[in-house]
Structure 1
Amino acid sequence: MKIRVGFGFDVHQLVEGCALWLGGIRLEHAKGLLGHSDADVLVHSICDALLGAANMRDIGYHFPDTAGEYKNIDSKILLKRTVELIAEKGYRIGNIDATICAERPKLKPHIPLMQETLAAVMAIDIDDISIKATTTEKLGFTGREEGISAYVTVLIEKE
């Protein structure tokens, strides 16, 4: 068996008038993330990590923000397609370890639903998805509540 590791990172600006999508679910919050798609930083980071591990470039290469068909798209669609892309190269997901960095809203109560939602999209066991949340102790753009970022490490396997 061959294993590979990938890393993903994404950040989007928080603005009024946008929905807040994180981990495939919509959260109630005064601000949402600005982007070409639904701007789900966690899903985008997972896609980048998976594509990187399979040596398939990044999310922007496969789903460019200049393409109209991806305008306002549900990022879960991009994630499902990413899993299909790596499967075409013979890879399957081993596990995912993710950290969302946000001052607010508090994410701890939403993590189980994020795990359940993402596991269903990727057709993997919920135990193979670790999601953690942290703040930056009010430092930087995250601390000023100007944006949210996500960091993801994945392991993929090839038989």
Structure 2
Amino acid sequence: MNNIRIGYGYDVHKFSEDRKLVLGGIEIPFEKGLLGHSDADVLLHAITDAILGALALGDIGSHFPDDDPKYEGAESVELLKHCYRLVKEKGYVIGNMDATVIAERPKLQPYINSMREQVAKIFETEVGNISVKATTSEKMGFAGREEGIIAQCTVLLKMY
């Protein structure tokens, strides 16, 4: 078994009316939410995929299928907690995590620290090991046209 493992995750969700916007396990005040079978937390989905990738255990869709009624409306925090239990079962902990959220709106800077704290709590680690950044795509592409939000994440797992 390797002493360290690295995983990468990516997710995208389009905006939808009449849904709340949840990013990083935090509800963000905004006129639209994200469309998805669960709460559509694009950031936590990217983090979950990075974790599963680091462990070579497939992807979020294979663990939590979007056609399974038991995951309808699921909180992504709970899905990530489940995957972090897999990390610990395999003898690893989070070394560090770096994520980027790409959206023209809403402006996310006021919520970044809360997102970092939420993820650090799930991973039972210090906030200093968790990086969440926000950027725009300079009005280009899917996110630039304000059709939705993209998230990317890299995680480093280390044996404890």
TM-score (norm 1): 0.97
- 2: distance between equivalents of 1:51 and 1:68? 22
Deviations 1:68-118 (A, max 9, x none): 111001100001000001221222111100000000000011000111111
Return the offset for 1:122.
Answer: 2.0
Letter in 2 for 1:44: H
Separation in 2, partners of 1:149, 1:142: 7
What's the C-alpha RMSD, in Å, of the aligned pairs? 1.0
**Amino acid corresponding to residue 144 of structure 1 in structure 2:** R
Aligned length: 159
Residue segments in structure 1 that go unaligned for 5+ positions in a row: none
What letter is aligned with 1:84? R
2:12 matched residue in structure 1 = 11
CA distance in 1, matches of 2:121, 2:91: 20
C-alpha distance in 2 between matches for 1:32 and 1:46: 19
Deviation at 1:150, TM superposition (A): 0.2
Equivalent in the alignment of 1:152: 153
Q: For structure 2, list consecutive stretches of 5 or more residues without a partner in the other structure.
A: none
Query: Equivalents in 2 of 1:140, 1:37: separation in Å?
Result: 25
Structure 1 residue 94 and structure 2 residue 105: aligned?
Answer: no
Q: Distance in 2 between matches of 1:36 and 1:109?
A: 27
Alignment of 1:49-68 (within 5 A): 49-68=50-69
Inter-partner Cα distance in structure 2 for 1:93 and 1:132:
18
Q: What SS does structure 2 have at the residue aligned with 1:35? A: coil
Contact 1:79 / 1:122 at 8 angstroms: preserved in 2?
no
Q: 1:15, CA displacement in angstroms? A: 1.4
The one-character-per-residue Cα deviations of 1:42-72 (angstroms, maximum 9, x if unpaired) are: 0000000011001111111111111111100
- Give, in whole Å, the separation in 1 of the partners of 2:106 and 2:58: 32
Give the distance between the partners of 1:6 and 1:117, measured in 2 at CA: 20
Letter of the structure 2 residue corresponding to residue 67 of structure 1 = D
Residue 80 of structure 2: SS of its match in structure 1? helix
Of 21-30 and 116-125, the range deviating more from structure 2: 116-125
**1:142 to 2:143 alignment:** yes
Q: Distance in 1 between matches of 2:50 and 2:135?
A: 20
**2:66 counterpart SS class:** coil
User: Contact between 1:14 and 1:34, CA under 8 Å: does it hold in 2?
Assistant: yes
**Rounded Cα–Cα distance in structure 2 between residues aligned with 1:87 and 1:55:** 14
